[in-house]
Amino acid sequence: MTVCATFTPRSEDEMLVTPGENLRLLEMFEDDWCLVQRVGKLEGELGVIPTFCLAE
């Protein structure tokens, strides 16, 4: 999936994302957050982000 909005983390489990980055969606949560894994040059990093940051 592609990031469409910047998200700045506020806790350790959250991940900084910026538009254009590619992520692998691992799990969706009921509270509109999701667990993602970075793909590409920083591949492997895991974190949670709000679902509004993702475009299909």
Name 28's bridge partners. 34
Please report the pLDDT score of residue 41 as a whole number.
Answer: 74
Q: Per the domain annotation, does 49 fall within a domain?
A: no
Q: Per the domain annotation, does 52 fall within a domain?
A: no
Range of the domain at 20: 2-43
Please report the pLDDT score of residue 29 as a whole number.
Answer: 97
Q: Per the domain annotation, does 6 fall within a domain?
A: yes
Q: Count of domains in the chain? A: 1
Kindly report whether the global pTM for this prediction surpasses the value 0.85. yes
Q: Per the domain annotation, does 48 fall within a domain?
A: no
Please report the pLDDT score of residue 55 as a whole number.
Answer: 94
What's the average pLDDT block by block, 10 residues per block, for the chain (56 residues)? 97 97 96 95 88 93
Q: Per the domain annotation, does 25 fall within a domain?
A: yes
Please report the pLDDT score of residue 40 as a whole number.
Answer: 80
